[in-house]
Amino acid sequence: MLVKLGYVDETYVDAMQERERLVSTYIGMGVAIPHGTTTAKGTVKKTGIVCFQYPQGVDFGEEKAQLVFGIAGIGDEHLDLLANLCTLLEDPALLETLKTTEDVDWVLKQLSQ
């Protein structure tokens, strides 16, 4: 989806998979935040984030994630994305709603704050 939306070129996907082989991007609470390796920084065209819901969970190492955020950032902008996500995910009720809502506008509003 990051490629389709023009955030990264296709090689970034390989870098995301490489990152996952090095260390899982699963952060707990049913959430994973896959992103590319440092060497893939040049393949990022613009900073962006995508969000996927997996109600039954998708495997991330030994864990299952119900919510997956794919991120890409120019320079250090990925750090801002991560900080904003972590702040958002601190609210347990909000996290559970993010995992199940079908209201795309609401999700976009939460991610853009």
Order of strands across the sheet that contains 48-60: 26-28, 31-32, 63-72, 48-60
Cα separation, 10 vs 14, in Å, equals 8
Q: How far is CA 90 from CA 5, 87, 94, in A?
A: 28, 5, 8
Out of 13, 34, 35, 60, the active site residue is 35
Cα separation, 74 vs 78, in Å, equals 7
| 78 is a catalytic site residue | no
Catalytic positions = 35
